[in-house]
Amino acid sequence: MIHNRYDISVEGKERSTRFLSLLAASGVKTIAVTESEGIIHFRTDNKGVDFIRKNRRKYKVKVSIARAGERSLERRLFSSYRFLIACLIPLVASLFLWEVTIEAEAPEVIERIENKLDKASIKNYKMLSSIPDEGEIRRTLMQDDPSLSWVRFVQSGSKLTIIPMHSPKLDDIVEKEGPVSDLVARTGGVITRFQLSRGERVARLHETVKKGDLLATGILEQGTKTIVVGAEGAVYADYWSEYTFEIPKTIAYHLLGDEKVEVKWQNPIVWKHGSDKPSLRSFIITDKQRADRFEQFELTDGMEESVILPLIKYKIMSESQSDIIIKDENILHLTFENDTVVGTILFLMNENIAIKRPISQGD
C-alpha cells in the first residue's frame, strides 16, 4: 500500500552509486529510480528504510526520507494547519448573524424596528440557531404598530434584511385646497388624543362625543379680534363597532415549505488540461431546495378565538385606509351553516374620527 512506501533521496557523489548497489545486493526493494543533478531518487518499503538508516553513515551519504505522496502539493495543502484554520474560520463565521439591515424610508420606522429587535435580542454576532423563526419576528415587529401591513425577510448567508411594508393611509392622500373648515366627529366615541396642526381644541381629552359634535374649531378669537384659519389634523377616539361577516367554511392557504440546504465538499484544486499550474475554486458546494404546498382546512366549532377572530381582525386591518387599532372584541353570535360561517363581532376600535365641516359665511 502507498502508506507503507517511502520516497528516498540519496546525495553523495560517487558514494550514492555504491550505496544504491549495496541496496540491490542486499535485496532491498527499490522502484522508480531516477537521477537528477547528482541526486538519486527512488521508492522503497519499511524494510528498505530500516536498512538505509543502519548503513547511511557507514557509506557517508546524505539521505532524505519522506512518506510517499507527502511532497505533493495537495497533500501538503490539506495537511497544513493554516489550511485547516482557513477552512474553519468561514465555517464558524457562517453560524453567526453578522449584519441586520432595515430597508425603510422613514427614520422613525427604522428606529422603532431596531428597538423591538434589541428587546427580542436579535442583533449582530448572535448565533443563527438562537434567532426565532420569521413568523415570531414578524409578530413582534407588527405588534402595536398598525402602520405595518406586512414584514418581509430576506436572508443571504449571515445577512438578514428586514423590509417593512406600510398600509396605505387616508391621511397620506394629498387634499385639494378648499374652504376653511372645523373638525367634527364622524362617529361617537371617547376622545383619547389630539394631533392638530392648526385650529383650537373644543372637545376635551377623555370626553364622550356624539356623531357631528365639534372637536376642533378653525375660528380663533384674540380679544375682540376673530381670525378664521381653519382646523387641520386628527382626533383619535375609542368606539364600539359591530362587524357582520360571512366567510367560506373551507379555508385554502399557501404554506412555505422548509428550505433544505445540502452542503458538499470538493477538491479546491483544479488541474486544467494543457496547463502545468492548478487553479483554485471553492471547497464548498451548496444546493438549496424548498417545496411549497397549498393546503386547506375546515372551520369548526371551537375555532372562534384561535382562528376565526384573528382572520376577521386581519381582514379589517388590511382593508382599512387609516391607522386603526383594535383594542378589544366580543363575539355576539356565530353560526356554522352548510358551506359558510356567519357571525357578528363587536370591536372596540381606536382611530381618527375627525372629518371636515366647512365654516359657513355667517360664522
Residue 236's pLDDT is 94
Q: What span, in angstroms and rounded, lies between the C-alpha atoms of 163 and 110?
A: 10
Q: How many C-beta atoms lie closer than 10 Å to residue 16's C-beta?
A: 20
What is the tally of helices (H) and strands (E) in the chain? 7, 26
Q: How many C-beta atoms lie closer than 10 Å to residue 235's C-beta?
A: 26
Q: What span, in angstroms and rounded, lies between the C-alpha atoms of 118 and 90?
A: 26
pTM for this prediction: 0.43
Residue that the C-alpha cell 541496496 belongs to: 23
In order along the chain (363 residues), what is the average pLDDT of each group of 10 residues? Answer: 69 74 80 78 83 79 74 55 72 79 80 84 78 79 72 80 68 54 93 89 92 90 79 93 90 79 81 74 79 83 86 84 85 88 92 90 51
The gap from C-alpha 242 to its chain's centroid, in whole angstroms, comes to 39
As a CATH number, domain 2-70 is 3.30.70.260
Continuous H helices in the chain: 14-25, 46-55, 73-78, 81-93, 107-119, 134-142, 309-319
SS3 305: helix
Residue 73's pLDDT is 52
Question: What is the domain partition of the chain in residue ranges?
Answer: 2-70, 181-236+354-358
Query: Which among 216, 218, 171, 212 has a CA at the least distance from the CA of 189?
Result: 212
Residue 139 has which C-alpha cell? Answer: 409578530
Q: What span, in angstroms and rounded, lies between the C-alpha atoms of 228 and 218?
A: 6
Query: Which among 185, 211, 215, 176 has a CA at the least distance from the CA of 199?
Result: 215
Residue 175's pLDDT is 45
Residue 186's pLDDT is 93
